């Protein structure tokens, strides 16, 4: 008999709302009220239509490279609905839904993707970190925030997000290890959208689930249906409550599918199969929640049309605010880098101000 054994858990995925909009099991009572369900649906629809507008702005040269969140709205929405205002948030670059719930304005998000770092200086979400584009480094930053909360004995938690590709990075394992060793109030949510740019999930790790990567660090973990906002909320709420109570960290893997290019600089048709994308469209989160609301007579086509009109008017206003914001000076790229600029950057800054960059 071999002494070697693989960790082989029974893989179950928490799901309350299936792809056809049918309810199973008993989700948290708070998430089954009509007001909660309508808030979740309204916000996911807002996020999707804002996301579409951002892509239109990029395609017409009025926004820089942009990372869409199409098909993944339930993950950020469910997680953010479980957060308290005093909690800290360390996002990655596909967390528009959570940022909007945290009080970040659409115009601030557009300002950031338009190339202005001032868009990260959120007027309202002062507990939250800026967008993080380097892969997985936000998890280590989040662990640092959690250290501060624990040291100060504050009943607050930190929630951080990442993609499935981030779970192959050393920063991911380092954050899990320190969170487990020091029992930090940190909750990590993995958006497993099946693609790390063009690298499929099955090619980047032999682990049967991404959730079980927490086992070696001693963290409790769960896999949830990332297209089910009820399941995401339930898992995040329990994990955050534990963290605030001093019971340590947790890891949540939310399984979804990226229905969009990695960014507007990508073309996923070059590496994904059409039939796979079509299947994923049948699973997407807005479709199933809308169906459930209609089945329980809490929603109809007239309400949908009225909501879309209201959402689009709000987006129009925020887009105009972004377009009316003066572009930053070229010298802005040198700010917040060093306490004192090195001499070679002083010269480059001078050239930027004078408009005479030399190759």
Give burial (CB, 10 Å; 0-12/13-18/19+) of 80. buried
The percent helix, strand, coil of the chain (3-state, each to 5) is 50, 10, 40
Contact predicate 15/254, CB 8 Å: no
Give the whole-angstrom CA distance, residue 55 versus residue 127: 28
Contact predicate 141/168, CB 8 Å: no
- Is residue 258 among the annotated active site residues? yes
> In this structure, what DSSP letter does residue 139 have?
H
Nearby residues of 236 by Cβ (< 8 Å), 6 or more positions away = 78, 79, 81, 82, 83, 159, 187, 189, 252
DSSP character string of 64-114:
------TT-HHHHHHHHHT--TTSEEE--TT-HHHHHHTT--HHHHHHHHT
- Is residue 16 among the annotated active site residues? no
Q: Which of 262, 292, 322, 349 is catalytic?
A: 262
Using alpha carbons, select from 117, 129, 114 the residue that is nearest to residue 53: 114
In degrees rounded to 5, what are phi and psi of residue 256? -140, -160
Q: Which of 59, 126, 271, 279 is catalytic?
A: 271
- Is residue 262 among the annotated active site residues? yes
Q: Which of 102, 258, 288, 349 is catalytic?
A: 258
As given in the structure block, the two tokens for residue 254 are 């939310």
Burial of 307-326, coded b for 16+ CB within 10 Å and e otherwise, reads beeebeeebeebbeebeebe
Give the whole-angstrom CA distance, residue 105 versus residue 100: 6
Q: Which residues are catalytic?
A: 258, 262, 271
């Amino acid at each position: 008999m071999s002494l070697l054994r693989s960790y082989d858990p029974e893989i179950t995925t928490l799901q309350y709302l299936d792809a056809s909009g049918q309810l199973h099991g008993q989700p948290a009572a708070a998430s089954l009220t009509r007001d909660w369900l309508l808030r979740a649906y309204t916000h996911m629809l807002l996020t999707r239509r804002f996301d579409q507008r951002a892509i239109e702005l990029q395609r017409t040269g009025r926004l820089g490279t942009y990372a869409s969140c199409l098909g993944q709205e339930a993950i950020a929405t469910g997680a953010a609905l479980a957060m308290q205002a005093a909690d800290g948030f360390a996002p990655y670059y596909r967390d528009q839904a959570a940022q909007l719930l945290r009080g970040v304005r659409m115009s601030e998000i557009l300002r950031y993707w338009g190339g202005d770092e001032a868009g990260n200086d959120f007027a309202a979400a002062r507990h939250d970190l800026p967008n993080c584009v380097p892969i997985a480094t936000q998890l280590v930053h989040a662990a640092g925030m959690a250290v501060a909360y624990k040291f100060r004995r504050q009943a607050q938690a930190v929630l951080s997000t990442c993609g499935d590709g981030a779970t192959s990075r050393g920063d991911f394992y380092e954050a899990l290890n320190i969170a487990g060793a020091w029992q930090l109030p940190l909750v990590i949510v993995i958006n497993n959208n099946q693609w790390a740019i063009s690298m499929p999930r099955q090619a980047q790790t032999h682990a049967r689930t991404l959730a079980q990567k927490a086992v070696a660090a001693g963290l409790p973990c769960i896999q949830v249906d990332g297209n089910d906002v009820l399941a995401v909320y339930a898992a995040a709420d329990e994990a955050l409550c534990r963290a605030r109570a001093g019971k340590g960290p947790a890891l949540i893997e939310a399984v979804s599918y990226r229905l969009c290019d990695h960014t507007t600089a990508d073309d996923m048709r070059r590496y994904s199969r059409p039939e796979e994308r079509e299947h994923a469209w049948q699973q997407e989160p807005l479709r199933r929640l809308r169906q459930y609301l209609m089945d329980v007579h809490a929603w109809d086509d007239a309400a949908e049309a009225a909501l879309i009109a209201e959402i689009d008017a709000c987006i129009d206003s925020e887009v105009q605010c972004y377009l009316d914001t003066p572009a930053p000076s070229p010298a802005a790229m040198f700010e917040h880098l060093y306490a004192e600029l090195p001499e070679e950057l002083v010269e480059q800054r001078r050239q930027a101000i004078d408009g005479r960059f030399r190759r």
